[in-house]
Structure 1
Amino acid sequence: MVFARWGRTIREFLDDARFRENRRVRITIYILLGILMFAILVGSILPPRYQFTVGQTSPVTVRSPITTVDTAATQAARQAAEEKVPKQYEQSTKVESDAVNQVDALYSTAVQVISDKTMNTTQKLETLAATAPKGVSQSTLRALLNLTPAQINTLQRDSDRIVQDLLGAPFYAESMQQAPLLVDRQMLTLELDKVSELIVQNVVVSVLKPNMVYQAAETQRAKDQAAAAVPPVMIHQGDVIVSRYGIVTANVLSKLRDVGLYSSRANLGVAVGFAAFIALAVGLLAAYVERRAPRRKVDNLMLSIFGLVFVLMSILIAFTKWIVNAGGPVSSAYILPVSLGAMLITVMMDSSLAVVASFYFSFLLGAALSFNYDFVFYGFVGSLVGAYSVSKVTSRGTFMRAGFFVSLMNVGAVISLHLLHADHTDDFHSFSLHIGLAALNGIVAAILAMGVLPFFETAFGLLTPIRLLELSNPNNPLLRKVLMEAPGTYHHSLIVGNLAEAAAEIVGADPLLCRVGAYYHDVGKTKRPMFFVENQMTKENPHDKIAPSLSHLIITSHVSDGLEMQKRAGLPKPIQDVCATHHGTTILWYFFNKAKEQDKNGTTKVDDFRYPGPKPKTRECAIIMICDAVEAAVRSMARPTPNRVEGVIRKIIRDRLQDGQLDECDLTLQDLDVMIGAFMKTLKGIYHSRIEYPDIDKLRKEVAK
């Protein structure tokens, strides 16, 4: 009971014009929408931050949100390539010439010393030692002094040839360890005695030096070229950096740094940028909503619902990003029912708002998923198809048909995006998974739309096409009450509904609202049905026995009675508005005239016989006001010929205009003129001329005679 009372209080507050038209409330709604969207989605825009340590067990599966270079792996690959580059050397001819000169100087000095008779053996050794290369032994020098000049010349020639052979080719530092062996191999072809071989080996080995000079700059240049030729090792978007319960290594930390997931501080720049993004988005959205045509004006209640749909879609987008951040595949975004928001806005408001909202939903989806254009395009296609597929709802099956259309177009979007990627990096398994999720997406959106819509209808008293179709069911308690207790009024309401629907289709109003509103506009007559002429089965009229003022009170009270009955039944406000305004502030001329005739003092005032109002403020209410008067007038005509009917219709419309009943709605004179044609066409089918059938009993008697 308490909850029901609270519900009625909240409903009355939401229906109050002070809430619906308040400018400050409107600005507050826009500000709250921006704050809520930022609070819900900022976590999806900011990359998650992990503060792992080496050796720690990861509590979640971490996937790369972007495609970037793996710094550590690339560096290791390039270092390996550099290590494979050999050192760069350049062969020096100077080493060979210096070695030959040293050999020649030694042997020449030996010949001179041997020929000099003035020097003793010690002096000869000292002179020879001063010329000999470092490494020539004393025994070799003594052996040289015991040779003849001819023998020394032979040794010189052989030594020079060996030196030239060895140093004429590349001779590295590593070759010095094998120098004695290399010299021995060269002497195999020489015919030398044992002493001569020892002298040559010692002399040649002492002058040998590496002739390959290391080129540090060239070596580094070669390493740089080898490293540059190594392609970077990439971390692709969606790659698993560390699995759940996996051990965090130094390599894992390096990858987290590369993809921007390892940091102890949040990226304030991204947060500020996203706040500016939301502010611009909400500002442009507000500019569009506020500049809409008056007939498409969105009051504060509908604006609140519009914002709630944005909040709902933001929650779904954030939830999808949470799944991806928790280790789920990026492809899970393909099943996000982004078209749900467009479907709800179309059904509860109109398709033009849904198209604008589709832009926002798709861009928010792409921004949350690392600003991926593929998801922007995918979300926009699905949202547009969803919006247009439910623009005319005739039953709940319309949602399922819309879901199939969305699924079909989603599949087309996935295929087109796949073909646009020239590298075709997705394997067949991933591609088929995306196709399957896209096909399932539309069905999920349709099911959710059918499930969420009743919540908005009940919580906010919305009048959606589905709700209107449910209210048009003849088994509705109020309609059954009218049918059983006031059948004439029921028939009158049906005809008014047909007239209103036909007129609404021509002037761009809501035909379904007009038809259903007409069904309920006279439910208040069930309280005193016999006081209304359409329910009087006999020629006896109860108004003949009461005062005109009382008759006026009874007749006009059917509006307030009907409004009270509709409120108790929980009918939406647009239906209640139809009931409250279908007579506006018109005058009951019949009872005014009757009262004037009975008034001998002349105190009767015309305003005392007016309906309480209010006047119609919407096209639908105005149409039903005119249709109600037209049906009653035409029904009371003795001979409803087309010309007479058209004249009556024009007179009714003219009277309503002159009385100011249509001043507060946006029906134009052109609308009123084209409505006359719709009335004539509909009334022609209802009050068409009929042939006069003969008297059957009279014919039977004549046949019997």
Structure 2
Amino acid sequence: MSIVFLSMLLLLLALQSWRAPFPFRQGDYIPHGITAKLEFERIDKEETEKAQILAESSVPYWFRHDSGNLDSLPEELRASLGDIARADSIEKLGDETRRDFGLSNAIPVGLRAEEAAQRFGTDKPDERFRELREAVVGQDMAMAQVRIQALVDDFGKFIEPLNKIGVIDPETVKRLEITPDKRILVMDEDVTEREGRAMLLPNVRLQDQLNDAGVLGIRWEEFPTLTKEIRPAISHWLYRRAQPTLRYDQNATQLAKAEARDSVDVRMKRYLKDDILVNSQTHLKADDLELLRDEYQAAEATIPWTSRLSRMAIVFALLLVLTWLNGFYIVLNEPKIATDVGRLVLYLSAIVFTAFIARLGSFDPLRAEIIPLLTISLLIGVAYNQLLATLTAFTLTLLLTMSTTGRLDHFLVLLATQTAGIIPLRKVSTRTTLIKVSFFSAITFFAVSCGAAVVETQSLQEVWDNTNFLVMSAKGAAMCLVAGYLVAGTLPFVEQAFGVVTDMTLLELSDPSHPLLKDLVRLAPGTHNHSMSVASIAETAAEKIGGNGLLIRVGAYFHDIGKMLKPQYFIENLQEGGVSRHTQLNPAMSTLIIIGHVKDGVDLAEQYNLPQPIIDLIEQHHGTTLVEYFYREATKQVECQPDHRTDAEESSFRYPGPKPQTKEAAVLMVADACESACRTLTEPTPKRIESLVNSIAMRRLLDGQFDECDLKMSDLHIVEESIVKSLIAVYHGRIRYPDARSA
């Protein structure tokens, strides 16, 4: 009782029963619109996003400055001026040098033709060459090196501001779309802390630095060697040869943008009571659903704990009713669950876990509650029976619907889908059947969803035009298929956990190529033949009284596997003319060997991982019956030797049991004994067979072998009739044919 009560409390927590249901889902049709039930505020995501974007856009780009790129410029200029001095005409200059000094028609990167001509005079290359060469060579060629040195020295001083300010790459400016009024932040290459100098684009763009008002343009007059005539050529050379010193630091910039975005306060939007949240005759979109959920959360926040406790009490009362209904059925029809604490805990744990997972996955955008619900329903249907599965499905669906949407159409769709999957589970002989069942459930999910939507909208065309609804319905149908594959894959583990065996497993075990059956044929062929006969007889009898015929047939295949460890001690395995080994043993020792085949069979079954129901049949098929032949032999010996009276105690000649716990085990016991005994009849006429079967059944009944199972007297009578018919069919009479001489 405490386990059940604890499960109820866990269900209350798993379903969050203190919360009201949220009835809306994406794609729902809203015929009359939705208004606010109370005044509430919510984050205005659109305005907040705008403010965050604005804050990000105001963050300057970060650059790292490496002045080392400029160190080689003076020496490079020396070499270029040397080329000018050595050439007595522009035609003798190399192409690279001509382009560097603007003495060709090439346009510098980042400049238009008009701008290049205005800045550097690129439209008069011959004149510029003569002016530049005259400034370098002058009247005396011997003084060229002195003049070059002076030019280089002044040039080095001229570009010193660039070592502090830096030069930006024009391509970076274009890629980042940096405008002239946009600030950038510059920090030295070796600085680890994010502290920079604020700069405007004209301060670091070389073409602007060379303007008359630029940081370099205002310095020309300070250096007399850099005359007005050669300034355009020197500027052009510098523009082409100077490498950018400012490297864009994306990490620092993104970090600064993130900080700016995070610093923005969220913008709130207020809704008054009765404000329209969703217009009429529309389908709920994701934004609408989010707005309604915010209103729901605001309403939930105003509910006092007294009201929440009242709701929990109501849900608990409903749980009591459902628990009583389920418990009443389980006690009457599934005593294995009711009396076995382990199975009960496992069953209740599965219910609680399914409820928790189903609620967790029931909300948009997942809406995957059908997967755990259908999975547990199919598993219980396969492991136990359809009625228990249907009852479990009803209970879980009702509780889940109450805690999520609270809508009748939602309840009907889920319950109909599970019921459609449970109905075909009467016989599940292959795993493919489970996939077919899940496909049937998928069709039901889609059809019932569409039907419920048509009833709600009163328009088939409206449903057909709602693409989002159709997609979600198809998604739910696909999830039914997922549940089918999930059941097929987890079924072996579920069988082991619940201690049950399905028809699929039984059919796999009935394969003659099973190692134990192959060994039985090889080592104990007589026992194998007996087992096959018992299987056929017992299966027919079990089905007559509503038992599991397949289970008893497979159990009969394995019920005597313990005999193959000592096959020669069992008469069915003796060769014709062979002598029984029991003639050399006393009755007590022979009894131990005979009884031992049950324990040996159980050990072999466990070693080969046979299901527990099969092991139970092996263990119970003799119950606590008496090994009558050797008991009588022992009694005869005691009559001759009275001092050994204790050697003939009846308890020493009985199987250890347990007695049959199920009707299948009881049927197997009777069928096994009758098939063996019938082989001893010299003339197995129908009357003799009937008398023999009745005698064996009555002895087992009077011996109390059926006291612990649910076999009724009417069932026993039906079993007797079935076994008699089967044995008569086996031992039917034949016409004696004349031999060759009489013919």
- Please state which band the TM-score falls in when normalised by the shorter chain: 0.5 to 0.7
In structure 2, the partner of 1:392 is 427
Once the two structures are TM-superposed, the CA of residue 257 in structure 1 deviates from its matched residue by 5.6
Q: TM-score of the superposition, structure 2-length normalised? A: 0.60
SS of 1:452's equivalent in the other structure is helix
Deviation by residue 1:281-308 (Cα, 9 ceiling, x = unmatched):
2553245324556563123233223223
Deviations 1:261-317 (A, max 9, x none): 476577643465246414532553245324556563123233223223313421331
Q: Tell me how far apart the structure 2 counterparts of residues 525 and 267 of structure 1 sit (CA, whole Å).
A: 72
Tell me which of 657, 668, 672 is aligned to 1:624.
668
In structure 1, distance between residues paired with 2:333 and 2:632? 38
- Write the letter of the residue equivalent to 2:346: I
State the match for 1:511 in structure 2. 549
The structural deviation recorded for 1:384 is 1.5
**Separation in 2, partners of 1:386, 1:271:** 37
Tell me the equivalent position of 1:371: 406
* Structure 2 partner of 1:589: 628
2:604 aligned to which of 565, 573, 580: 565
Distance 1:484 1:421, change over 3 A: same
SS in 2 for 1:42: coil
Letter matched to residue 411 of structure 1: F
Residue deviations 1:234-271 (CA, integer Å, cap 9, x gap) = 48784434899xxxxxxx6xx66644447657764346
2:540 matched to 1:502? yes
> Are the counterparts in 2 of residues 615 and 661 from structure 1 also a CA contact under 8 Å?
yes
Contact in 1 for aligned 2:278/2:288 (Cα 8 Å): no
Q: CA 1:312–1:636 in 2, change beyond 3 Å: closer, same or farther?
A: farther
> Which residue of structure 1 lines up, in the alignment, with residue 689 of structure 2?
645
User: For the Cα contact (< 8 Å) 2:343–2:498, is it kept in 1?
Assistant: no
Distance change >3 Å, CA 587–CA 295, structure 1 → 2? farther
> What does 1:1-16 align with in structure 2 at a 5 Å threshold?
none
Give the whole-Å Cα distance in 1 for the aligned partners of 2:423 and 2:378: 8
| Structure 2 residue 278 is matched with structure 1 residue 240 | no
Q: Where does 1:156-195 land on structure 2 (aligned, <5 Å)?
A: none
Matched, 1:308 2:328: no
For 1:688 and 1:661, the matched residues in 2 are separated by: 30
Structure 2: distance between partners of 1:72 and 1:347: 49
Residues 478 and 523 in structure 1, CA contact (< 8 A), matched pair in contact too: yes
What percent of counterpart residues are identical? Answer: 31
User: Out of 34, 38, 41, which is 1:68 matched to?
Assistant: 34
1:39-58 → structure 2 map (5 Å cutoff):
39-42=13-16, 45=19
Residue matched to 1:576: 615
Query: C-alpha offsets along residues 309-337 of structure 1, whole Å, 9 cap, x if unaligned?
Result: 3134213312323x52xxx27xx358645
Which amino acid is the alignment partner of residue 614 of structure 1?
P
In the TM superposition, residue 230 of structure 1 has moved relative to its aligned partner by: 11
Matched, 1:37 2:11: yes
CA deviation digits over 1:121-174, x for unaligned, max 9? xxxxxxxxxxxxxxxxxxxxxxxxxxxxxxxxxxxxxxxxxxxxxxxxxxxxxx
Per-residue CA deviation, residues 592-641 of structure 1 (Å, 9 max, x unaligned), is: 22222233134133333222222112111111111110110112222222
Report the structure number with the largest CA radius of gyration.
1
Once structures 1 and 2 are overlaid, which stretch shifts more, 345-354 or 425-434?
425-434
Equivalent residue runs for 1:259-298 within 5 Å: 259-261=296-298, 268=305, 269-270=307-308, 273-274=311-312, 276-278=314-316, 280-281=318-319, 284-290=322-328, 292=330, 294=332, 296-297=334-335, 298=337
* Equivalent-residue separation in structure 1 for 2:300 and 2:39 (angstroms): 20
Tell me which residue corresponds to 2:117.
none
For residues 481-503 of structure 1, the C-alpha deviation after alignment (integer angstroms, 9 at most, x for no partner) is 22221111112112211122111
Given that 1:334 and 1:437 are in contact with CA atoms closer than 8 Å, whether structure 2 keeps it comes out as: no
Structure 1 residues 284 and 366: alpha-carbon distance in aligned structure 2, compared to 1, 3 A threshold: closer
- Asked if 1 retains the 8 angstrom alpha-carbon contact of 2:666 and 2:706, the reply is yes
| Alignment: residue pair count | 494
CA distance in 2, matches of 1:378, 1:337: 15
1:532 is displaced (CA, Å) by: 0.6
Secondary structure of 1:387's counterpart equals helix
Q: CA deviation at 1:443?
A: 1.9
Would you say 1:474 and 2:520 are equivalent positions? no
The structural deviation recorded for 1:695 is 4.8
| Pick aligned residue for 2:358 from 317, 323, 326 | 317
Alpha-carbon contact 1:362-1:375 (below 8 Å) kept: no
SS at match of 1:394: coil
CA contact (8 A) 1:309 1:344 kept: no
Could you tell me whether the CA contact under 8 Å between 1:337 and 1:442 is conserved in 2? no
Which residue in 1 is equivalent to 2:167? none
- Alpha-carbon distance in 2 for matches of 1:492, 1:641: 20
SS at match of 2:16: helix
507-516 vs 308-317, greater mean Cα deviation = 308-317
User: How far apart, in 2, do the equivalents of 1:646 and 1:296 lie?
Assistant: 34
Task: Specify the alignment match of 2:397 in structure 1.
Answer: 362
Aligned to 1:156: none
Partner of 2:126: none
**Per-residue CA shift, 1:569-590, capped at 9, x if unaligned?**
3333322221222111211221
Residues 302 and 634 from structure 1, CA distance in 2 versus in 1: closer, same or farther, beyond 3 angstroms? same
* Offset from partner CA, 1:454-476 (integer Å, 9 cap, x none): 22223454323332222222222
Q: Is the 8 A contact 1:556 1:611 kept in 2?
A: yes
RMSD of the TM alignment (CA)? 3.6
Letter in 1 for 2:662: T
CA drift of 1:343 comes to 1.0
Within the alignment, does 1:554 sit opposite 2:593 as a pair?
A: yes
Aligned to 1:338: 373
Q: Distance in 1 between matches of 2:432 and 2:368?
A: 26
| Contact 1:337-1:445 at 8 Å conserved across structures | yes
Contact 2:390 / 2:419 at 8 angstroms: preserved in 1?
yes
Q: Which runs of 5+ in 2 are unaligned?
A: 41-273
Write the letter of the residue equivalent to 1:515.
R
Task: Describe the superposition over 1:616-674 as per-residue Cα deviations: whole angstroms up to 9, x where unpaired.
Answer: 12111111111110110112222222221111111111111111111222211111111
Report the counterpart of residue 351 of structure 1 in structure 2: 386
Cα distance between partner residues in 2 of 1:62 and 1:433: 11
Alpha-carbon distance in structure 2 between the residues aligned to 1:610 and 1:256: 72
Give the Cα–Cα distance (whole angstroms) in 2 for the partners of residues 263 and 31 of structure 1.
28
Q: Which amino acid aligns with 1:682?
A: S
Matched position secondary structure for 1:338: helix
CA contact (8 A) 1:361 1:380 kept: no
Q: State the distance in 2 between where 1:413 and 1:370 align.
A: 17
Report the counterpart of residue 62 of structure 2 in structure 1.
none
CA distance in 2 between counterparts of 1:518 and 1:402 reads: 30
**Distance in 1 between residues matched to 2:682 and 2:357, nearest whole Å:** 63
| Counterpart position of 2:650 | 606
* Residues 1:531 and 2:577 are matched in the alignment: no
User: Equivalent residues in 2 for 1:659-674 (5 A)?
Assistant: 659-674=703-718
The alignment status of 1:491 with 2:523, answered yes or no, reads no
Calculate the TM-score normalised by the size of structure 1. 0.63
Distance in 2 (alpha carbons) for counterparts of 1:282 and 1:452: 31
Preserved contact between residue 335 and residue 440 of structure 1 (Cα < 8 Å): no
Q: Residue 204 of structure 2 aligns with which residue?
A: none
Contact 2:413 2:445 in 1 (8 A): yes
CA shift in 2, pair 1:570/1:261, >3 Å: farther
Distance 1:516-1:295 versus aligned 2 partners, 3 A rule: farther
Moved more, 407-416 or 584-593: 407-416
- Change in 2 beyond 3 A, CA 1:295/1:379: closer
How far apart, in 1, do the equivalents of 2:12 and 2:622 lie?
48
Aligned to 1:656: 700
Q: What displacement does 1:680 show?
A: 2.8
